[in-house]
Structures are given as structure tokens and as C-alpha cells.
Amino acid sequence: MSAKATRTASVVGLTGGIGSGKSTVAAMLGALGAFVVDCDGLGRQVIEPYGRAYASVVDRFGPGILRDDGQIDRGALAAIVFRDEEALAALNAISHPAIDAEIADRIAGAPEDQVVVLDMAVLVETDLGGGQYDTVVVVEAPLDVRLARLAQRGMTEDDARARIASQATDEQRREVADFVIDNAGDIDALRDEVTELWDALTR
């Protein structure tokens, strides 16, 4: 795992369950001046050709996971790892150090006086990014609100409930939270909460 980058401004781990509005909060923090790192995006980047984990993933899972253009077929890879715990552990052992290294690079490249926000869906479920953030912010919303939002994205209720059940619970996230954002209301209420958070982070 990469060493924690030395900075004068804080590094924030931002997390929340699917449908909670985590990405909206990340965008609002970015608009207020935060340097936002999309850690989920880095997970995709490291297994692209020439990415940090590409060669090792292909070595481990074989050329059958490759498309004709040399890209890893994420669907084919997912079909392997999500029915085999050993395969999933192997993929994580390859990809997580690569993602951590990318996160460290982004932190090191940010202006020293800028708050860095690590937008990270699996902050609680894994040790991804561990030790690289000073503060944890959790975004929450009631289950019925999350289900309604996911339905608007075209997800069935059964799929939405399965995705939510596969993630950490609100209680598990609160155990590591320094700040909790309640996103049960409208966008204006959320913006007010995020502005208060930003004031606390930059005080």
C-alpha cells in the first residue's frame, strides 16, 4: 500500500451507499473548491491497457477476458470473480495496491492548500485508500428515498435492494464517520449541509 502523502490541507474520504447522493455531494464539494478524486474511476483506469494492474490481471485470469481491441472485458471479468471468492480476492490483491498508488499520485499532485476529497464507494467494505485520508464523510438517505432514486435510474426494486444489501450498512459507515450528511431532503437542503461541511473542513 502506498504511503500516505504529506499535505498541509486535509484529505477527506467521502462515502455512502448506492442512491445516497454521494456523487452529488462530491460534485458540490468540487464546486466549492475541493480537489475531487473519483476512486471508482481509478478502479476502471488501472485495468485499462498500460494501466498499473492491466498486465497482472491478464496474467492471472488469462487472455479469455480480453476483447479484440485488447481491452479487458469488464463483464467477462465480473462473471468470473463474482461467483468465485478466491478469484475476487486475487483481483483485489492485484487492483487495490494499483488504485492506492493512483490515489497517492493524485493527492501528491493536488495544490497543497486545497482540500482533497476521495470519492470512494467502498471505503468501509475494503481497505482501499486506507491511511490516505484524515477525515471521513458519510452521505445517508432513507431506504425508500434511495429505492426511488434508483428506480429513476432504471433499476428494478429487486436489483436495487440486492445492491444495497451487498454494501456496508448505515451503522457500519457511521462507526467510521467524522461527519454525516443527511440527504433525505431536496437539493437545496443538501447544498446547505454541504456548505456547512465545507466551512468545517476549511475552518
pLDDT attached to residue 203: 84
Residue 59 neighbours by CB distance under 10 Å: 10
pLDDT attached to residue 8: 52
Q: What is the pLDDT along the chain (203 residues), one digit of tens a residue?
A: 233 444 556 899 999 999 999 999 999 999 999 999 999 899 999 999 999 999 999 999 999 999 999 999 998 998 898 788 899 899 999 999 999 999 999 999 998 889 999 999 889 988 887 778 899 999 999 999 999 999 999 999 998 998 899 899 999 999 999 999 999 999 999 999 999 999 999 98
Classify each residue of 143-182 as buried b or exposed e, where b means 16 or more C-beta atoms within 10 Å of its C-beta: eebbbebbeeeebeeeebeeebeebbebeebeeebebbbe
Tell me which long-range contacts 86-89 makes (C-beta under 8 A, separation of at least 24): 87/61
pLDDT attached to residue 1: 28
**pTM to 2 decimal places:** 0.86
pLDDT attached to residue 129: 76
At how many degrees (to 10) do helices 85-109 and 54-61 cross?
180
Distance CA 144, CA 171 (A): 17
Tell me the C-alpha to C-alpha distance, in Å, between residue 116 and each of 27, 149, 201: 12, 27, 10
Is residue 117 a contact partner of residue 31, using CB atoms and an 8 Å limit? Answer: no
pLDDT attached to residue 97: 94
Of residues 110, 114, 98, the one with CA closest to residue 42: 98
Of residues 133, 154, 135, 122, the one with CA closest to residue 17: 122
